[in-house]
Structure 1
Amino acid sequence: MLRKATSQDVADLAGVSRSAVSLVLNGRGDGNIAADKQALIIEAARKLNYTPNTVALSLRSRRSATIGVVTDWIATTAFGGKLLQGASDVAAAAGYLLLVIDTQNSAERERDAFERLQNRQVDGFLFAAQSLRSYEPGDELRIAPGALANCFDPDDRVPAFLPDEVSGSKSATQHLLDCGHRDIVMLMGTPEAVAAGLRVQGFVEAMTEAGLTAPEPVVTGWDIDKGYAAAMQVLTRPDPLPTAIVGANDRSAVGVILAAAELGLSVPGDLSVVGYDDDENVAPCLVPALTTVRLPHREMGEQAMQVLLDAVLNPAPSPAAGGRGPQPRVLLDCPLVVRDSVTGPRAGR
């Protein structure tokens, strides 16, 4: 069995002292060790595949080098996977391990998850939600270093990282306007969903700035059959037919395309369609491939974890001591992904 490299091996290879290795690999090299020596130490550690003894580090620093991640029901979803991957990559680069518990949207399981993670002495907590929503954090997140991803504390006691739903919807609508569309209908999803209201806001802003009156959004759901039903309603009414429809999400946009096909309308020739989410299992696979708005799940995980680790490594005074004021809500860009489901309106429409 090969012997695991030690800090002394790294020191010998780099030609420095063992204490210098300790300072650099524990993030305290700046101001203590010359830059060229730091580079030699990092290169020696890489060559030897050296990793610090996390148990020893924990005893010295009184940290466990673990972060507790609690989710509602995202662990088995494609979007949730991207969020967790982003958080995990940032944590791993800093030498931290994630302990992830998915509660299946159970309040009882959520309480149990935080208790179990506290008992394991994690250094901080991240709570991540499947759908954008308000979230009331417990003491664990408000007192220990904590962060939220895809949800927000209504009282802003915990930093939150969120998709900029308004700008995403606005850019999708603006794309249709830039292509020459004026008769545009929006499918809303469900009114109680936070994201739905924000997307409607972006749609209205884009239409208003173009000097147009935004029609009332059509309340649907989030699935293919709901998008199909809404599109059949819109595309068979006596009013002038829209030349473009903005789906509540990618799945509802699939329903719109199916309805158009049944009515003998081509997409995008007769009807342009835009989705929302950039679901990798839906949007690029359609014929035509769906123009849509991408949700920044990976970026939410990355940035939430980075802020959380900064708080762990550079602790501020406790809230009781007045050291933590209102925490930011960071809005992350939702970029438009242009594919084949949008073109200019047919002449005469």
Structure 2
Amino acid sequence: MREGPVPDRRPTSAPRPTSADVARLAGVSRTAVSFVLNGRGTGNISAENADRIRAAAAQLGYVANSAAVNLRRRSTATLGVITDEITQSPFAGRLLQGAREAAYARGYVTIVADYGRDPAREREMVAALRARQVDGFVHAAMSMREYEPAAGMLEVPALLANCVSRKGPAGVIADEEQGGALAVEAVLSRGHTRVAMLAGVEGARRESATERRIAGVQRAAAAAGARVRVVDAGWQIADGVRWGTALLDAPAGERPTALLAARDRVALGVLLAAAHLGLRVPEDVCVVGYDDEDQIAAEAVPALTTVALPHQQIGERTVDLLLAHLLDGDPLPDSDVRVPCRLVLRESVGPAPNR
């Protein structure tokens, strides 16, 4: 009698646990698992959830294997970061730093290409990065604006950083309305009722970010039962001097006791105008800027209260969302993601004068 093959009775190895298994056991998302196990949980994930994630990973014996993931997915573990002119600016360069660090935390590297707002050059750079088989794209803008993705950028997963598009992928942007609200609340909470805002470019359509800041200022002022006069102005120190002088050269009972500027450079001009008119800041007039610009806000005399833009956090969040899609299978956001701004309180803000 012919015997059949002897069955292999050796124990089969259990499938390796995945980040999805850890997330399921801990009762959290896979993105949260990625944050904690890649050392980026602080500030993003609660301590309680972080402890549950680490305990679940230890119980399951989960160990991330980025090399295996890359091989299985035919990944190059690279992201193409296309910028309009950020590499020329140390101010917004924090966005690139945030993107780079977030990518590194998950075993990725970024390849940055700056096209200097030349559309033809942008298309060439996108094509060159596609030829290098980047896993995804980030388009990062120097200042918040509308953007139309270049041909080829949407052939792989992509997100926008500090810009928005009506046709293309979602953007990760500063919450400019919340920032505007922070600026006006800083003076309303100190008793100021005569408030003006220097915003936009005189005689031209305001940029999208400025419109959002104005909306935030007006919304917060209305909620407090106050009104804010909005004046079209420029973006430079000279514009702040010009408009600051025009608004403050009035009797004490008529001039604003608080001036908000849509940019720190304009706020610096207001400080100069106040000094020229013999007014003290913040005793006679408060001044609030926007941007927390290096070498300006903290060094002004008096030091400038301002709203800090979250450039580094925008870069981090954009890459986190993109890699959560590439590595964990999470869907890309279908609408813009807003990152909160932060009020930096310095010496240029004080209580309203008693007159």
Scaled by the length of structure 1, the TM-score of the pair is 0.80
* Distance in 1, Cα, partners of 2:341 & 2:233: 22
Query: Which amino acid letter does the alignment assign opposite residue 165 of structure 1?
Result: E
The one of 9, 16, 35 aligned to 2:58: 35
Match of 1:153 in 2: 165
Tell me the residue number matched to 1:338.
Answer: 345
Identify which of 239, 244, 261 aligns with 1:226.
239
Q: Which residue of 2 aligns with 1:85?
A: 97
1:28 is displaced (CA, Å) by 8.7
| 2:288 maps to which of 265, 274, 281 | 274
CA contact (8 A) 2:197 2:228 kept: no
What is the CA distance between 1:143 and its match in structure 2? 3.5
Q: CA deviation at 1:93?
A: 0.9
Residues 108 and 139 of structure 1, relative CA distance in 2, 3 Å threshold: closer
Q: Using the TM superposition, give the Cα deviation of residue 146 of structure 1 relative to its aligned residue in structure 2, in angstroms.
A: 0.6
Alignment check: 8 A CA contact 2:78 2:109 kept: yes
Greater alpha carbon shift after TM alignment, 112-121 vs 60-69: 60-69
Q: How does 1:1-349 map to 2 (within 5 A)?
A: 35=58, 38=61, 60-155=72-167, 157-190=168-201, 191-215=205-229, 217-237=230-250, 240-314=254-328, 327-348=334-355
Shift of 1:34: 7.5
- Alignment partner of 2:290: what SS? coil
Cα root mean square deviation, aligned: 2.8
Are the counterparts in 2 of residues 85 and 298 from structure 1 also a CA contact under 8 Å? Answer: yes
Give the distance between the partners of 2:143 and 2:250, measured in 1 at CA.
32
1:179 Cα deviation after fit: 0.4
Q: Distance in 2 between matches of 1:213 and 1:262?
A: 27
Q: Secondary structure of the residue that 2:139 maps to in structure 1?
A: strand
Distance 1:229 1:192 in 2: 19
Report % sequence identity. Answer: 40
| Letter in structure 1 aligned against 2:84 | D
Please report how far the alpha carbon of residue 125 of structure 1 lies from its aligned counterpart in structure 2 after TM superposition. Answer: 0.2
Residues 211-245 of structure 1: per-residue CA shift (max 9 Å, x gap): 23332x11111111111111111122578111010
Task: Give the 3 Å change call, closer, same or farther, for CA 145–225 of structure 1 in structure 2.
Answer: same
SS state at 1:170 partner: helix
What does residue 47 of structure 2 align with? none
Change over 3 Å in CA distance of 1:181–1:121 after alignment to 2? same
CA contact (8 A) 1:141 1:147 kept: no
Secondary structure (helix, strand or coil) at the match of 2:173 reads strand
TM-score (norm 2): 0.79
C-alpha contact (below 8 Å) 1:73/1:105 kept by paired residues: yes
User: What SS does the corresponding residue of 1:246 show, helix, strand or coil?
Assistant: strand
Gapped regions of structure 1 (runs ≥ 5) = 1-18, 43-50, 317-322
Q: Which amino acid aligns with 2:337?
A: V
Aligned partners of 1:29 and 1:38 also within 8 Å: no
Measure, in 2, the Cα distance between the counterparts of 1:178 and 1:27.
46
Matched letter for residue 172 of structure 2? F
* Mapped partners of 1:228, 1:60: distance in 2: 60
Instruction: Say which is worse superposed, 217-226 or 175-184, in terms of deviation.
Output: 217-226
- Cα displacement (A) at 1:288: 1.2
CA distance in 2 between counterparts of 1:182 and 1:241 reads: 11
1:5 paired residue number: none
Question: How many angstroms apart in 1 are the aligned matches of 2:219 and 2:174?
Answer: 17
Deviation at 1:105, TM superposition (A): 1.4
**CA–CA separation in structure 2 for the residues paired with 1:91 and 1:255:** 39
> What does the per-residue CA deviation read over 1:268-299, in whole Å, with 9 as the maximum and x for residues that have no partner?
11110000011132111112111110111011
Distance 2:111 2:318 in 1: 15
Please give the secondary structure, in 2, of the residue aligned with 1:111.
Answer: helix
